[in-house]
A and B are shown apart, each in its own frame.
Chain A
Amino acid sequence: MERQERAQAVTIISPVHRWWALWLRLTWPLANRLAVVNRPLLRLAFIHFAHWSLVRRMPSRARGADARRLPHPYVLFQSNFNDDLDAYIDAFSLVVPGRMRAMWQGVFGFPGPRPVDRFVSFVRARATPTQYYYCAYPEASSTMIRAALRLSEQHRRFAAEAAGLDDAAFAARYAEFLTRAQLLM
Chain B
Amino acid sequence: MAPVRGGAEDSVLAVLAAMDTGPDSPFARVCTTHFARLLLIPVLRDAHGEPASPAQAYLLLTADFDGTLEQWAAAVATEMGADLDRVFEHCERYPGSRDSAAFLHFINEHRIEAGFSIVAYRASVPAVRESLELQRALRDFAVASQGLGASELASAWRERFGG
Task: Show the binding face of A for B, using Cβ within 8 Å.
Answer: 4, 7, 9, 11, 13-15, 24-25, 28, 31-32, 38, 41-42, 44-45, 47-55, 58-62, 66, 70-72, 74, 76, 78-80, 103, 108-109, 126, 128-140, 142, 144-149, 151-152, 155, 159, 162-163, 165, 167-168, 170-171, 174, 178, 181-182, 184-185
Please determine whether A170 and B153 come into contact, CB atoms closer than 8 angstroms. yes
Contacts of B62 in A (CB 8 A): 11, 51, 78
- Whether the pair B120, A134 counts as a contact (CB closer than 8 A) is no
What is B's interface to A at a CB cutoff of 8 Å? 1-3, 13, 16-17, 19, 21-22, 25, 27-28, 31, 33-41, 44-49, 52-53, 56, 58, 60, 62, 64, 108-121, 123, 125, 127-132, 134-135, 138-139, 142, 149-151, 153-155, 157, 161-163
Q: How far is the CB of A178 from chain B (nearest CB, A)?
A: 6
Provide 27 A-B residue pairs closer than 8 Å at the C-beta atoms, listed in order of the A residue: A41-B118, A48-B34, A49-B35, A49-B118, A52-B114, A52-B117, A54-B115, A60-B110, A76-B112, A103-B116, A129-B39, A132-B37, A134-B28, A136-B31, A139-B132, A142-B121, A144-B135, A148-B134, A149-B121, A149-B123, A151-B134, A152-B127, A162-B163, A167-B153, A174-B154, A185-B138, A185-B139
Q: What secondary structure prevails in chain A residues at the interface with B?
A: mixed
State the Cβ distance, A139 to closest chain B Cβ, in Å: 8
Residues on the A chain within 8 Å of B108, using CB: 61
Main SS class of interface, B:
mixed
Please name the residue on chain A nearest to B118 by beta carbon. A50
A-B CB pair tally, cutoff 8 Å: 230
Nearest Cβ distance between residue B144 and chain A, in whole angstroms? 13
B138 pairs with A49, CB closer than 8 A: no
Most buried by A among B44, B108, B135, B154: B135
B39–A130 CB distance below 8 A: yes
Instruction: Give bound CA distance, A140 to B34, whole Å.
Output: 12
> How far does the alpha carbon of A14 sit from the alpha carbon of B53 in the complex, in Å?
15
Is B115 in contact with A80, judged by CB distance below 8 angstroms? no
Known: A148-B128, A170-B157, A185-B139. A32 touches B116 (CB 8 A): yes
Taking CB atoms, residues of chain A closer than 8 Å to B45 are: 14-15, 126
